[in-house]
Structure 1
Amino acid sequence: MEVELRHLRAFVTVVARRTFTAASRELLITQPALSRTVQQLEEAVGTRLLDRTPHGVELTETGGELFERLSGVLRDLDAALAAAGGHAGLRVGFQWALPDPWTSDLLGAFETATGARVTLLRRDDIVAALHSGDVDAALVRGDVHASGITGTLLFEEDRLAAVPAGSPLTAGDELNWSELSAHPLVVNTVSGATSPGDWPPGKQPARVVECGSYDEWLAIIAAGRGIGSTTTSAAQAHTHARVTYLPLRDAPQVALHLLWPTRRTSDPLLRRFRELAHSLA
């Protein structure tokens, strides 16, 4: 069987999305059809590329090697087609609420300066999205250390405390950072900017309530199961009738970084986006 572009895109999308269900939604085909397409590719190369697991898919050794090569090939192909059609653009990933109006000003300045379009894509696993080529760059809070990823600090944001409405803590106008550790701390372990390690040893929160997204984090605090900390821009973007935000004294700031694949450091569009991001920071 001759390998076609659809086989390669199907395989790369399944790996990037981690499940056939998510990949089929993105590719707008049924799961059975997607499975057949990946199986056809495996038959063509003569070996298994993916293993199904209860949690999704895992790459075989051969599958991992093929995915690494194909990601760059397909990304370059898409870029070439976009440039040929006059639709060059930049895909910028993010995990949760971006600071505004800074983000809007940056996107507007970039599109005016380059004529290229920016697409914002929400992704929980930013490192995976950068490695797979799903996004070209990413705006991320906190520190990220990963092989093949380069980053630069743009600026730092102040924090606010998030407490259940009606809590005795809302009686004051503000809280001290050290006060938060005396209460159950709600932590978004996937993309949050707060962790017990933000407090010195011996002064860390005795109880931590973990969750996996910003929406879950907000709902848990609203239910009165703990308190948390977030950035001022996120608090402005995500309000909740049962959550009160209070200023925090002596709280460490949250860094906003721009990340990109090291292999694409010389990309002219990425370079211009970095320059504008710094100039507006």
Structure 2
Amino acid sequence: MDLQVRHLAAFVALCEEGTYTGAAARLHLTQPSLTRTVQDLERILGIALVDRAARRLELTGDGREFHARARQILTELGELETDMRGRAEVRLGFAWLLPSEWFGRVRAAWDGLGGRLAIHRTDDPVGDLARGRLDFALVRNTRNGNDTLTWHRIGTERRVLAMAADSPLADRAGLRWCELADQPLVVNPRSGTTMPDNWPEPHPAREIVTCRNFDEWLELVSAGRGIGAVPAIAVHRAPHPGVVYRELPDIPDSPLYLGCRRIPPPSRTLRRFLDIALRPDATVAGPQRG
């Protein structure tokens, strides 16, 4: 049998606790198991580390030297693990239009710890998260989630109305969100922000046009198939010659969520990233309405 980290950990715990009972409890082992591990260690080394003639735990001269060096090795291994885990790659998925300020703050903080952040654009971030293809998903609706996922609300975004450039609504004065409950609506069920229930009194005969991603949504709105609503960052980040964006005084804000898997539990690296992503200075708040 070769010398292993478990041998070092068992012996160091025994030295620091002073009894086999205390060391076994610390390592979540049975006392006989710990005793066998220490005995195996002595057989591997071919020397006695513990003076068994003493009534209390006493180390031999070799035992004292081995303890000091083993403790140093375990300390260095712990530091190495922490350093390497901090550099692990975290996979963040999103469907469209990452919130720039939030993402910039989180990426800078994670980079500062030596971590790597890989971003993945996907039509189905919720599904890819559940399937283990992502570590985190940034989404604007959680309708397709399941019990294996946990969602953290990281803020809200102010939205704007989107319509075809030649729509009669484009220039209507005094337009309000509440007046649009009967208008055809373009909906992205997987990752969009706007659903019929965003209106207090949805129109029962309203036409709903569905799509699979943001690009399809934009083209359908441009073609006049229906209206929609998106975060206000789309005005500058997703201009389209066939689409007009309008601010409305009563359009509801949309929530923004960061999701991770609850089963299996997140690793230490993923917990560290989540701590950064949920810090108060990393929350998302849409600009105030003018």
Q: 1:85 to 1:152 in 2, by over 3 A?
A: closer
Structural mapping, 1:166-245, within 5 Å: 166-172=166-172, 175-203=175-203, 206-245=206-245
Post-superposition offset of 1:202: 4.9
Structural mapping, 1:29-68, within 5 Å: none
Q: Tell me the amino acid that sits aligned with residue 90 of structure 2.
A: L
Task: Identify the residue that residue 115 of structure 1 maps to in structure 2.
Answer: 114
Post-superposition offset of 1:251: 2.1
Q: 1:255 to 1:202 in 2, by over 3 A?
A: closer
Task: Identify the residue that residue 150 of structure 1 maps to in structure 2.
Answer: 150
Preserved CA contact (<8 Å) 2:196 2:202: no
Task: Identify the residue that residue 125 of structure 2 maps to in structure 1.
Answer: 126
Post-superposition offset of 1:199: 2.0
Task: Identify the residue that residue 53 of structure 2 maps to in structure 1.
Answer: none
Q: 1:200 to 1:85 in 2, by over 3 A?
A: closer
Task: Identify the residue that residue 136 of structure 1 maps to in structure 2.
Answer: 135
Post-superposition offset of 1:203: 3.9
Deviations for 1:160-179, whole angstroms, at most 9, x for unmatched residues? 00011132222246631112
Structure index of larger Rg? 2
Aligned-partner Cα distance in 1 for 2:224–2:179: 17
SS in 2 for 1:142: coil
Aligned-partner Cα distance in 2 for 1:205–1:214: 25
Q: 1:85 to 1:111 in 2, by over 3 A?
A: closer
Preserved CA contact (<8 Å) 2:162 2:244: yes
Aligned-partner Cα distance in 1 for 2:84–2:100: 33
SS in 1 for 2:269: helix
Deviations for 1:60-113, whole angstroms, at most 9, x for unmatched residues? xxxxxxxxxxxxxxxxxxxxxxx879951100111111111321222112211x
SS in 2 for 1:98: coil
Aligned-partner Cα distance in 1 for 2:103–2:173: 29
Post-superposition offset of 1:246: 0.3
Per the normalisation by structure 1, the TM-score is: 0.64
Aligned-partner Cα distance in 2 for 1:269–1:84: 10
* Bigger fraction of residues in strand: 1
Deviations for 1:111-155, whole angstroms, at most 9, x for unmatched residues? 11x211000011222233123221111111123441210111100
Per the normalisation by structure 2, the TM-score is: 0.62
Post-superposition offset of 1:239: 1.1
Aligned-partner Cα distance in 1 for 2:201–2:217: 24
Aligned-partner Cα distance in 2 for 1:158–1:262: 29
Q: 1:155 to 1:173 in 2, by over 3 A?
A: farther
The number of residues matched between the two structures is 199
Preserved CA contact (<8 Å) 1:181 1:204: no
Task: Identify the residue that residue 47 of structure 1 maps to in structure 2.
Answer: none
Q: Tell me the amino acid that sits aligned with residue 226 of structure 1.
A: G
Aligned-partner Cα distance in 2 for 1:92–1:217: 23
Aligned-partner Cα distance in 2 for 1:150–1:86: 22
Preserved CA contact (<8 Å) 1:163 1:170: yes
Task: Identify the residue that residue 45 of structure 1 maps to in structure 2.
Answer: none
Q: 1:210 to 1:86 in 2, by over 3 A?
A: closer
Aligned-partner Cα distance in 2 for 1:184–1:98: 27
Structural mapping, 1:66-85, within 5 Å: none
Percent sequence identity is: 36
Q: 1:166 to 1:206 in 2, by over 3 A?
A: same
Q: Which moved more, 1:199-208 or 1:220-229?
A: 199-208
Aligned-partner Cα distance in 2 for 1:263–1:96: 26
Which runs of 5 or more residues in structure 2 are unaligned? 1-82, 284-290
Q: 1:207 to 1:86 in 2, by over 3 A?
A: closer
